Structure 1
Amino acid sequence: MPRPPAPHGLDPFGHIAREGSLAHVPAAFRPVVAAARDRLPEVFGARLHSAYLYGSIPRGTALVGRSDLDLFVALRDEPTDADRDAVRALGAAVDGEFPQIDGVGTLLYGRDRLLSELERYDLGWFVACLCTPLLGEDLAAHLPRYRPDSLLARETNGDLARRLPRWRERIAGTEDTETARRPLVRFMSRHLVRTGFTLVMPRWNGWTSDLREMAEVCGAFYPERAAPLRTAARYGSEPVGDPEVLRSYVDDLGPWLAEEYARVHGVKAPRPEDRQGARRP
């Protein structure tokens, strides 16, 4: 079996180290971050509890013209459809103003949900380990330290089997063009590679957000899946619009991952949107 890269991403006590920092934001993206920081309070006022960056920009790996701005926003109450429309409008405005980014994505939740027992090892972990504070009180102060164990694996990505039918619906409803399919290929590629990584994360005993390294780590434990995982990692950064790629994800790589994940870690606890048939970001 190929040897996986040496584990890392943990602090001296074996907890996942928080990644990202405002100090790591590349100079080209600092005006973008400043615009988001200034405008979010204008949108939400006193209802804004806190805001965070995540992804390549606070990790310092963003590429001008190719990377997007990823924001995570916590409100003091539960967000409404009007709130979601407002952050989409804000994202579109910032994206149109700054050519150095390729889109803005914003996750929006209420404070109580983020600190709930149900989300402690999913959204709570995401905030505490993968998000960089931008505004307000840091919710990480109310959350535990996290280890790369089976509980974390199950509660972060143990819902792939429930996602696959929705993915098939999204594919069927997507316009039949290369341009329309590329964002879907990018999204599904990233999700599958991250799911593959967290499948083996407890055995590797480390953390990384690098898609290519994630694919290599999983491929070392599952050599027969190494090639499609490497391809998916590439498409996560440089997506194609090939319908066969999407078909392979929902007919082959996705079902295998979902079955193996359930066998190894079990199934993630359902969320309200799962029971209601809503789409979780």
Structure 2
Amino acid sequence: MQLPVIDPNIPFQQQYQPVIRSLVAYLKAGLKDNLHSVYVYGSVARKTARPGHSNLDVIVVTHSAFDSQKTTIFNTLRWRFKKDYPFVTDVSIETALVEEVASLDSLFSWGFLLRHCAVCIYGPDLAECFGYYEPSWEIAKFWNMDVADWVSYYRDKIAKSKAPDEQVKAQQNIAKKLLRASYSLVMYKDKQWIDDPLTCGEQFLQYHPEKKTDVERLGILLKTRRVIPKRSVIGLLDDYGHWLVKQYQKTEFRIG
């Protein structure tokens, strides 16, 4: 069953259209001839972004490395967007070289991301280098086999957080990751690709109804904008996070 792609002909939400124009203009000015193409993914690409809640997720593909310029260019971009578009909560930028993306080695990484999760907003669309994908364990494990690292990282981040905003952001990030990883565990059986974290949780429960309480708690972490007691959050990560990691290991052993 072929996975759907994001229709590039559907216009971006009106409030985000000047954001996209400014992004392209800034990157063209900063990178000049080194810029190959630019993509957005996530909720902005899907035209479901919520002002004041959604990040702008960007992929910048260049002809050659620009490490000496990268920090200055991207920090200035974030500063400008924070001032001009305060409803964009953050700008997350991934970079790659053309030769890295247009490679067989990138089949389940850049290939899948550009073909099914992103929209090209400038330059030659490298998604055209790849065919269409079907739901598979290879995709699921590539994007989520590191779930143990994520759980460990955010467990430590939440335990050491001092500012409420820092903890809330960490709560939401790990909840989003775990909900998506939960669905990816069953994606090869469910034969879909779901990106919305809450919908991921709901569909996952069709296969693991015994995890209803855990999924509901993850939903609370994702949606709430208040601090949840650290002991409760860490307990959830230790319990459900450990179970999820074990399930990935078992599935990988069984399927390979």
* CA–CA separation in structure 1 for the residues paired with 2:156 and 2:72: 23
Give the match for residue 17 of structure 2: 30
Give the match for residue 210 of structure 1: 196
- Which shifted more, 60-69 or 111-120? 111-120
The verdict on how the C-alpha distance between 1:230 and 1:112 changes in structure 2, with shifts beyond 3 A counting, is farther
- 1:240 is displaced (CA, Å) by 3.6
Contact kept? 1:178, 1:241, Cα under 8 Å: yes
The verdict on how the C-alpha distance between 1:266 and 1:178 changes in structure 2, with shifts beyond 3 A counting, is farther
User: Structure 1 unaligned runs (5+)?
Assistant: 1-13, 270-281
SS of the residue 2:237 aligns to:
helix
* CA–CA separation in structure 1 for the residues paired with 2:57 and 2:216: 24
Of residues 24, 32, 46, the one that matches 1:59 is 46
The verdict on how the C-alpha distance between 1:203 and 1:171 changes in structure 2, with shifts beyond 3 A counting, is same
Which digits, 9 at most, give the CA deviation of each residue in 1:90-145, with x for residues without a partner? 12311221133222222222222233444321232111110011011111111232
SS of the residue 1:203 aligns to:
helix
Give the match for residue 241 of structure 1: 227
1:83-122 pair list within 5 angstroms: 83-122=70-109
Q: Which has the higher contact order (CA 8 A, sep 6+)?
A: 1
The verdict on how the C-alpha distance between 1:176 and 1:213 changes in structure 2, with shifts beyond 3 A counting, is same
Give the match for residue 219 of structure 1: 205
**Is 1:188 paired with 2:160?**
no
User: Structure 2 unaligned runs (5+)?
Assistant: none
* CA–CA separation in structure 2 for the residues paired with 1:246 and 1:79: 39
* Count of matched residue positions in the alignment of Structure 1 and Structure 2: 254
1:69-218 pair list within 5 angstroms: 69-78=56-65, 80=67, 82-172=69-159, 174-218=160-204
Give the match for residue 35 of structure 2: 48
* CA–CA separation in structure 1 for the residues paired with 2:237 and 2:199: 23
* CA–CA separation in structure 2 for the residues paired with 1:16 and 1:240: 36
TM-score (norm 1): 0.81
Contact kept? 2:41, 2:57, Cα under 8 Å: yes
Contact kept? 1:177, 1:241, Cα under 8 Å: no
* CA–CA separation in structure 2 for the residues paired with 1:93 and 1:150: 40
AA aligned opposite 2:161: E
Contact kept? 2:4, 2:116, Cα under 8 Å: yes
**Is 1:232 paired with 2:210?**
no
Which digits, 9 at most, give the CA deviation of each residue in 1:171-202, with x for residues without a partner? 35x53121111111121111111111111111
The verdict on how the C-alpha distance between 1:65 and 1:110 changes in structure 2, with shifts beyond 3 A counting, is same
- 1:234 is displaced (CA, Å) by 4.5
SS of the residue 1:220 aligns to:
coil
The verdict on how the C-alpha distance between 1:178 and 1:86 changes in structure 2, with shifts beyond 3 A counting, is same
The verdict on how the C-alpha distance between 1:266 and 1:73 changes in structure 2, with shifts beyond 3 A counting, is farther
Contact kept? 1:164, 1:254, Cα under 8 Å: yes
Which structure shows the higher helix fraction? 2
AA aligned opposite 1:36: L
Contact kept? 2:214, 2:236, Cα under 8 Å: no
AA aligned opposite 2:59: F
